[in-house]
Amino acid sequence: MPTRKNAYEYPYQNSHPDHHHTYLIKPLIKLLADQKQPNPNQDTLRVLDLGCGNGSLSHLISQQGYEVVGVDESSSGIKFACLSYPHCHFIQASIYNLPYKELSSSFDIVISCEVIEHLLYPKELIRSAKKCLKPKGQLIITTPYHGYIKNLTLAVLGKLDQHFTVLWDGGHIKFFSVATLTKMLEEQGFKEIRFKFAGRLPYLWKSMICYCQN
């Protein structure tokens, strides 16, 4: 296996929220809130944002009362994150080579938002998340939704080339369905795998939100 697993590094220009936050942030915050116990003496839940980019999602999560650590390989992303959101802790590191001495078994929740589809080796993200979670911790992954009805609709409308375009640097490498993401998570030992969906009409959704237990 090559040592350099992801040769493209996204160059961030600012710390503004990404476009997908507009339809993902509300259900994500609701999912995170569901993990809180009705116990006023409970410690602040720790959240690891894997592939945090410019830190904008980490910031939004921290505003809900979580302790957030963000990790990303992009030097520009981490620079803007540290400058704009000093109340969060950010680490520049590859998902393929995390500083486990600092992160191992330390988090109640690991979240990775619109990241796994960009990876040549997506199983490594799931393995990395598992190593960072506490026992019975929660993993939340969002990724663009792909299904038969959606793909058939795109084909009929003549939009497959636009949807699966290769004419931009970086971009999506893997395309997940409910079945394929479920199988990948099951293979790594995750259980209680469930899905929610966001954006557009049913079965034409923009993204799916998968949440499961370590």
**CATH code where residue 137 lies:** 3.40.50.150
Cα–Cα distance between 115 and 175 in angstroms, integer? Answer: 11
The model's pLDDT over 88-106, given as tens digits with 9 standing for 90+, comes to: 999 999 999 999 999 999 9
Coil vs helix vs strand at 180 = helix
Residue-level pLDDT at 171? 81
- Residue 64 located in a structural domain: no
- Residue 9 located in a structural domain: no
Residue-level pLDDT at 3? 46
- Residue 134 located in a structural domain: yes
Residue-level pLDDT at 35? 77
Cα–Cα distance between 6 and 20 in angstroms, integer? Answer: 22
- Residue 37 located in a structural domain: no
Residue-level pLDDT at 2? 42
- Residue 179 located in a structural domain: yes
Residue-level pLDDT at 38? 56
Q: Domain range spanning residue 105?
A: 94-213
Helix (H) or strand (E) holding 79: helix 75-84
Question: Could you tell me the two tokens for 197?
Answer: 């969906």
- Segments in the chain below pLDDT 70: 1-8, 37-42
Using an 8 Å Cβ cutoff, are 57 and 20 in contact?
no
- Residue 65 located in a structural domain: no
- Residue 166 located in a structural domain: yes
Q: How many domains does the chain fold into?
A: 1
